[in-house]
Amino acid sequence: MSREDRMRIVLLSSLQPTGFGAVASALGGAAGERHGDTVLLDLTRAAVHPCLACGRCNHTGRCILRDEMTEILPEIASCDLLVLATPIAFGVHDPVMKRAVDRFLPLAGERFAIRHGEMHHAPRHSKRFDLLGIGRLEASVAPEEGETFERLIGRHAVNLACSRHATVLLQEDVQVKRTVRDGLARLGVEP
């Protein structure tokens, strides 16, 4: 496969460093650095400001904040696969991941349109990427929270106008590689 044909992957992870490293490794990249066409961002170490909800990006497509999230948004808009790896808290992203996800707002276009029979912002980017959600579910947490997380990734896929989506749940770190590969397989991606 030529470089041009290689899949462009963006991984955003709020898992603790060992989990981030394991997911990055399973995706074929080296944790903590840009590796070929894989962009990896460890959100537990990155400088990401919370969204101010100023609404300017809605009109301009650009965020007024300048940080690592600003730099990675164009990578997301042009990627083939976006991977969100997070501990599950109350059935959804942990606050560290949500801080980054709130900053996705510039990806949405200014105007509303009807998509999937629902009102949505039309996407600003023309490229359609796949979405893989990886949620770490603590053993003590009710399984219903995992079900909520699966629905969340499905909703993100609609909101971000993704082509396809899949969700996998990590129960223990030792299963990371197999679980990630299972998720990739569901999207028809060969790791």
CA 30 – CA 103 distance, rounded (Å)? 25
The yes or no reply on residue 152 touching other proteins (CB under 8 A) is: yes
Applying CB under 8 A, does 13 fall inside the site for other proteins? no
Q: Torsions phi, psi of 107, nearest 5?
A: -70, -20
Going from the C-alpha of 125 to that of each of 74, 108, 110, 121, 160, the distances in angstroms are 9, 8, 12, 11, 9
Region of 11-19, 25-33, 112-120, 127-135 interacting with other proteins (CB under 8 A):
112-120
**CA 38 to mean position of chain CA atoms:** 13
Name residue, tokens 């903590």. 32
| 16 phi/psi in degrees, rounded to 5 | -60, 160
Smallest distance, other proteins to C-beta of residue 182, A: 24
The whole-angstrom separation of Cα 60 and Cα 57 is: 5
- Segment interacting with other proteins (CB under 8 A) among 69-77, 99-107, 125-133, 180-188: 99-107
**Residue among 26 and 83 whose Cβ is closer to other proteins:** 83
What one-letter code names the amino acid at 184? L
Q: Closer CB to other proteins, residue 27 or residue 152?
A: 152
Does the protein bind other proteins through residue 156 (CB under 8 A)?
A: yes
The answer to whether residue 62 forms part of the interface with other proteins (CB under 8 A) is: no
Q: Can you give the binding site for other proteins, defined by CB under 8 A?
A: 49-56, 58-59, 89-95, 98-99, 101-102, 104-105, 110-114, 118-120, 141-142, 144-145, 148, 151-152, 155-156, 159
